[in-house]
Amino acid sequence: MSFRDTNTADPFSAPPPPGPPPPSLPEGWLAKWDDNYRQYYYVNLYTKKSQWEIPTVAAMGAGGNGMYTAAVDGGRWQVAGS
């Protein structure tokens, strides 16, 4: 019995992603391509809300390091950046 490789495609090549390259975005945003509308929409990584307009400022909820921060004050949690 002999082994025959029937996969002639290069396993390290992949088709280019659809659409043009995504724009650079402020901290806390992710560009996602929509095949139906053939354009990018933008997801706020902290709130998980999306929008069609290109964001121009860091996502709400981003603290100095891009994360929510919390502290205990007199036994109550206070969340900064929300």
Run of H or E residues at 38: none
Q: Which class for 12: exposed (0-12), middle (13-18), buried (19 or more C-beta within 10 A)?
A: exposed
Domain boundaries, the chain: 29-80
Quote the tokens at residue 38. 């053939």
- Please report the pLDDT score of residue 25 as a whole number: 96
Quote the tokens at residue 42. 């933008």
Distance of CA 32 to the CA centre of its chain: 7
pLDDT tens by residue, 25-66: 999 999 999 999 999 999 999 999 999 999 999 997 755 444
